[in-house]
Amino acid sequence: MAKAFAEMTQSITKDDSWTWKQVSPAVRSGCLVRDTSCFVISKPVIHPQNPSDLDTMEEDHGSFRGPLNAFHTYSYSIAHNPGYQLPVMYFTASHSDGSLLHEEEIWKDFAAQPSNMENIISQCEHPVFMRPSNFVHPCNTSAMLKILSRNDAIPSGFAPILLWLSMISPVLHFTLPPIWYRHLSSELNPSLDDGTDSESIGEM
């Protein structure tokens, strides 16, 4: 099903596509990889030498106080986690020089208080690539997915993966292409031709 999802994205949203990568023939040694990375401007760190400097800096809206190349690169993949028996979103986050971000630096790339992110995003080893990575904790989504899977009205197509992506989208640095939602709508309502009836999504 993951491979079918990858094919769907490659045909519908070429600039936001996913690819299935198989590292070895062994079971569970493959994962879905997002083909493009996204870039997050890191928040500049301001260290005024004395309090009066802060006033001048606040006036200067145009200039960027941090180093010119202060952006972070996020690359995503989805793999099955054998412990939680769920899909898990993994990502690497690097500085512009290629060095990896530490957990606390990653938390700062979200609007929330960094310490609140501790139970949401953590460092780990990627289960397929066996390299440093980070993951979005699955516990928050497992309860929701259990409820969804009990609902016989949900077909087995792309709906579960798209719904899961929607659930975790607040902690992703990319937005989900709107056209996927049209695809989701037409899956849930196969009787509709164009799949753009928003009322039927509400029935769900």
- Residue 144 within binding range of other proteins, rule CB under 8 A: no
Mapping DSSP to helix (H, G, I), strand (E, B) and coil, where does residue 190 land? coil
Nearest partner of 131 among 165, 98, 87, 92, judged by Cα: 92
Distant-in-sequence, close-in-space partners of 176: CB < 8 Å, separation ≥ 6: 162, 165, 166, 169
Pick the stretch among 62-70, 81-89, 154-162, 188-196 that binds other proteins (CB under 8 A): 81-89
- Residue 124 within binding range of other proteins, rule CB under 8 A: yes
Q: How far is the CB of 15 from other proteins (least distance, A)?
A: 29
The amino acid occupying position 131 is: R
Pick the stretch among 12-20, 76-84, 108-116, 173-181 that binds other proteins (CB under 8 A): 76-84
- Residue 82 within binding range of other proteins, rule CB under 8 A: yes
d(CA 85, CA 118): 22
d(CA 138, CA 124): 13
- Residue 94 within binding range of other proteins, rule CB under 8 A: no
- Residue 25 within binding range of other proteins, rule CB under 8 A: no
Site residues (vs other proteins, CB under 8 A)? 82-85, 100, 102-104, 118, 122-125, 130-132, 139
